[in-house]
Amino acid sequence: MGYTKALLERQKELGRPVHVGVVGAGQMGSGLIASIQRAPGLAVVAVADIVVDKASSALRNAGRDDVVVADTDLDKATRAIDDGKAAVISDGLRMPELPVDIVVEVSGVPEIAAQIAYTCITHSKDVALMTVEADITVGPLLSSMANAGGSVYTVMRGDEPVECLKLVEYAQDLGLEVVCVGKGKNNVNIPHGMPEDNIADAERKKMNPRMLTEFTDGTKTQLEMTALSNATGIPIEVDGMHGQEIPLAELATKLIPKADGGILEFDKGPCVEYVTGDVAPGVFCIVKSTSDVITEELDYLKLGHGPYYLFYRPWHIASIEAHLSIFEAVTTGRPDFQSTHVTTEVIGRAKTDLEAGLTFEGMGGHHFYGYAMPADKAREMNLVPVGLLQHSKLKVDKKVDEMITYDDIEIDHTRPLVAMRFLQDSMVARGVLG
């Protein structure tokens, strides 16, 4: 049964579509609201944004002409939803108190995203995240809480980590051995790049320069592949990953063991990787057939020349397909993507020489870029997860490319994201997670 058929049957039984609440009405949020609103069996009944006019516009642009601006009045918002209208509120943390079936987070701010997820889970409300930066920081904690309490916590479809996972699951279901899985990246990393370097390009793409810089300096790719690693338990092979320029036509001959002419030390097992070149915006999974019969059949079916083969999805379409995760959560009660392992960590390295006393900007700013490494190695070196650096104060001078440790910073332990991460670390140390 397809999602649409199941949701329409549900709507017929309940007399209403799935009530979706969305937190965040920026560029990505507005696109997601429009996609959800067009999906059979779904309806956006509430949007939260600190700028209520943005939330109202996003709903109206999605075809809702019955918008009620409730701001902080939850009773007014609830009445509007009960009357079949769409409500706008200003505080996303109050969204799980409204009569919605699932909350979708599209804030783009890790601190907020983690708090939204935590609040939804403690209200026994299903929640789906678009902000992967929150998941790589406290995803295992949030997943364990949701799974223990019976609600759904998931990262949404449409971005590379989830689509890579779907290829891994497909290969495993076929009984093939996963060798390497990852994504294509549009550009080579410019780890010392600054937001002002990207102003013109950001204007053309209608993006915030810092958001674009998070992509160009490599941080976003390190985050995404770390999320994939922690969802699958598949590690990266080297710190920062190989990140070579490999064309699509050569993936199945390069991302294989060195013994067979590739670049991988496959005695370590499968790995997560990224490449630059013509693979972007696609995702890939290199698999191996260990059966002569299957190898002969795959060769006959023109998948290549075994025993290594490429599974490739040439696109990911972000908010256009993100609502598939709402379908999955509502119709099956299962997440599309959870970080249930603590395999890989993203830490911060100085973008330039930094002086003691500065307060760190967020990702894509002037102070640090993200760099992936094994989680146990990061713990041994006392390195700070990149998601905790923003708002922390640097106590010592750091040279360009130096890694940032807990000893180097003053961190505000009252911040919810920090408290959640320290709880997660405690659970990992006690063997409860990871």
Write the pLDDT tens digit of every residue in 262-296.
999 867 789 999 999 999 999 999 999 999 999 99
Q: Is residue 414 in a domain?
A: yes
Q: Is residue 338 in a domain?
A: no
Last residue of a domain, one of 285, 306, 332: 332
Q: What is the pTM of this model?
A: 0.96
Q: Is residue 434 in a domain?
A: no
Same domain, 59 and 195: no
Q: Quote the domain boundaries for residue 97.
A: 3-159+320-332
Residue 359 belongs to a domain with what CATH number? 3.90.1210
Torsion sign across C-alpha atoms 266, 271, 276, 281: positive
Q: What is the pLDDT at residue 148? A: 95
Same domain, 353 and 395: yes
Same domain, 128 and 199: no
Q: Is residue 86 in a domain?
A: yes
3-state helix, strand, coil in the chain (%, to 5): 45, 20, 35
Angle, helices 3-14 vs 324-332, to 10°: value is 60
Q: What is the pLDDT at residue 257? A: 95
Same domain, 9 and 125: yes
Place of tokens 């910073």: 409
Same domain, 127 and 153: yes
Cα separation, 317 vs 85, whole angstroms = 29
Torsion sign across C-alpha atoms 56, 60, 63, 69: positive
Same domain, 384 and 297: no
> What parts of the chain have a pLDDT lower than 50?
none
Phi, psi of 394 (to 5 degrees): -80, 130
Tens digit of each residue's pLDDT (9 = 90 or more) over 16-62? 999 999 999 998 999 999 999 999 999 999 999 999 999 999 999 99
Structural domain count of the chain = 3
Tokens of 156: 């949404």
Same domain, 41 and 97: yes
Q: Is residue 50 in a domain?
A: yes
Q: What is the pLDDT at residue 205? A: 86
If 0-12 CB within 10 Å is exposed, 13-18 middle and 19+ buried, where does residue 2 land?
exposed
**Residues with Cβ within 8 Å of residue 250, at least 6 apart in sequence:** none
Same domain, 242 and 187: yes
Cα separation, 239 vs 237, whole angstroms = 7
Same domain, 237 and 278: yes
Same domain, 14 and 100: yes
